[in-house]
Every structure is written in C-alpha cells, then in structure tokens.
Amino acid sequence: MISIDKTFSGVVIVAPIILGAFLSGILYLLEGFSIPLTIFQLTLVCGFIFFGLKKIITRDISLEIYGLEIEYILFLTIIFLSLIYSPDRGEGLFYSVRYITLLAMTYLIYNSINTISEFRIIIVVVVFSALLVALKSIFDTYSNPEIIAFNYINAGRKLMRSAGDETDPNRFAISFAMPFMLLLNLVIVLKDKKLKTVLFGFLMLVIIAVLITYSRSTWVAFFFASAVAFKYHKKYSIILYVFIFSLLILIVSESAQTILVSIIQRVKDIFAGSSDDSSNIRIMLFIGGMKMFFDSYMVGIGFHGFSTRFQEYFPTQETVGVYEAHNEYYRILAELGLVGFVVFIYILAKVVKVAITTIKASSGIENTIATSLFCSLIAYFIFFMFYADMLYNSLFFINIVLIFTLNKIVNASKNMQLQVGKATN
C-alpha cells in the first residue's frame, strides 16, 4: 500500500498537470493540426489514468466534493438548454465539453492532494513552472533585437510572438497571476534574508516577463491585486527594492532602456483617454452584448453564440474583423441570460467566500499561500473584465481548486488539533 501511495501520490498526479498548463502556452506537440495536442492535454489524460488506477488498486471508490456541485449542475443545465436555440450549437457543445473537462480536473486535484506537505510541493511546482516560461520569454525577447525594435516602434500594440491561441500576449501574461502573487506575498512576509533575496530575484523575472507582453489588462489586474496584498500585510518596503533593482537593470542594459520607453508609452495609453480602435471596438462589443441580452428578453442568445449574433448588430468592417466578446461577464449575460448570469456570479462569490475563510482560519506559511491565492483570484476577476474565455482557462481553474484544497487541509488540521485537545483533557 505504501508503494502504491508513492507511485500514484498526489504530487505525481498533479505536478505534471500544472507544469503542462504553463508549458502549453509556449509548446505544442502536434502543431499545425486543427486541434493541436498540448502538453497540458497529455498530462491531464495521464493524471486521470493514474488516479483511476490508484482507485482500482486500492479499491477505494470514494470521491470528495468541495461544495459547488449544485451550482455547477445548475449552470451546466442552463448551458445545455441554451444550446437548443444557440446560433452556433456545434462550437457551443465543443466548449461546454471543454468546460466540463476543466471542472473534472478540479475534482482530480482536490482528491489527489490531501496533506500540507503535498500542497507545498505543488506550490513550488507552480512557481518553478512559471519561471521556466518566464526565462524562455525573456531570452527570446532579449536575444532578438528585431523583437525589441518592433515592439518599440509599435509601442506594444503589436507583438512578435510564436503562433497559437495560448500564446496570445494577454492570456500569456495573466498565466503568471498565481506565481506572481505567491512570490510577492512570500517576499513581503519572509524573514530569512537569503531565501527572501532568492525569491525576490524570481519575482523580478516574472515581472519582466509580464512587462514585455505589453498587456495593459494584466498590468491593471496585477496592480489592484498587489494593492490588496500590501493592504493586508501593511508592509511596503519591497516597492523600494523593485525600484532599485529596475534602476540597476536600466543602467547596465540599453535593450532594457528601449523596452522601458515602449512600456511607458503603453502605460500612458491607459490614462490618455484616446479613442483608439481597441477602445472603440470594446465599446461596440459591450453595446452588442447588452442588445443581445435585452433583445432575447433577458433569456440569452445561447451558449457561445456571441460572435455569430454580434455580427448582426455591427458589420465586421466596422469592428476591423473583431467579433469575440472582450469581457466574460457581459458575455455570460448575453449568452445565458439573467438566470445564467446570477448563477455564474454566485459561483464566483462562493469561491471568494471560501478564499477569505481560509485566510482567516490559517496561520504561518499557509496563511501567506492562502492570501496569495486570493490575490491571484482577484487578478483573474479583473483581467476577465477585458477578455473572455474564463470558463476555458486551465490555470484559473487550478487557482480555484487550490483554494478549496488548502481550505480542506486547514480545516482537517484544525479538527485534528481539536481532537487531540479533547483527548488530552
């Protein structure tokens, strides 16, 4: 039994899935196929196989749930009912299966990780995986003067990046939400100066990787999520360290100076109030979403029907070929109606409640991790005000299940302490 537990341990099952979720953004196994095979897909399938084998060998058919089952079933019921009248049933069915697969992944992780030692290893895997991707991104940019010059000339509006949906600069940038918040919170609270220095270096690598994506939506999301972290810990010295480190980099690197100029221009665009194409199109997408909602008598136009129906309100010439929703919240409202939107918001609110409960119930390093996961959740919530596809983001779902898993471990630890206390009395 011990050998089985080691062979099919929670870390063995979950760690490759997390690594695959990060690496899938930069590497495809069957690139060029209509549905490319990613490392994440492969590791997820292997994870389910290993988990199933463990259950069969140990003859344990039990399955833990984390309290969102009724909400998930209700939300999925609304999705499948809406597919009856959706203008794009085929694509809607495909993405509903994708959503269900990610939900299944959350239960796989939740049932695989049961101890705090396993959970800490998973957190290390999250940071390690992100560092690998960050280093590759920085190396590809810094070692190629053409990329730096191109991004400088275009002020970040267009990026030279490898092909593939997962390598979209904005989605790529938000993938660092968890590792960024974990490193930030750890650097804030740790007292060991050597470890703090190492983690600070890792944090700067992640910050650089996020900056060179020129993703304003991610910058805004990380800014507010970081503000929550600073407010919670009430320690701000790290801001000075980041400034000093950045100054040193700028002094020794001309490429960094060039990149900084384009980044500053990109930041100015956020506050300039200029009516560029991106802003105008986002406004039209919002107006289109509201029209769909009211024209459908608040029932919704059907799951994944936004893009098809939007073109009936605004021609593609007017939106420069953009017709995908750029906000997850009005997309859900337009596609699933008022009832679907309320259930969707209730699910998110329940996740927030569990995250806050875990922070209050934990202490020490677990409290820091719980705070980090809550901050990264906020970052995701803000990011998806500018982009859709929340229901298909693997790292977002990993963030959610890690919150529930940590809550389970913290509660189990407290219950054990109470039982020991009663026994000694």
pTM score of the predicted model: 0.89
pLDDT value, residue 145: 64
Instruction: Report whether 225 contacts 376 (CB < 8 A).
Output: yes
pLDDT band for position 170 (cuts 50, 70, 90) = confident
Tens of pLDDT, residues 174-227: 999 999 999 999 999 998 889 999 999 999 999 988 888 878 889 889 999 999
Cα separation, 120 vs 374, in Å, equals: 16
Cα separation, 279 vs 267, in Å, equals: 14
pLDDT value, residue 146: 64
Question: H helices of 273-424, where?
Answer: 277-295, 306-310, 328-361, 364-383, 394-424
- 136: part of which helix (H) or strand (E)? helix 116-142
Cα separation, 409 vs 377, in Å, equals: 19
Instruction: Report whether 30 contacts 164 (CB < 8 A).
Output: no
Cα separation, 183 vs 196, in Å, equals: 9
Q: Is the pLDDT of residue 401 over 90?
A: yes
pLDDT band for position 138 (cuts 50, 70, 90) = confident
Cα separation, 261 vs 8, in Å, equals: 50
**Radius of gyration of the chain from its Cα atoms, rounded to whole angstroms:** 22
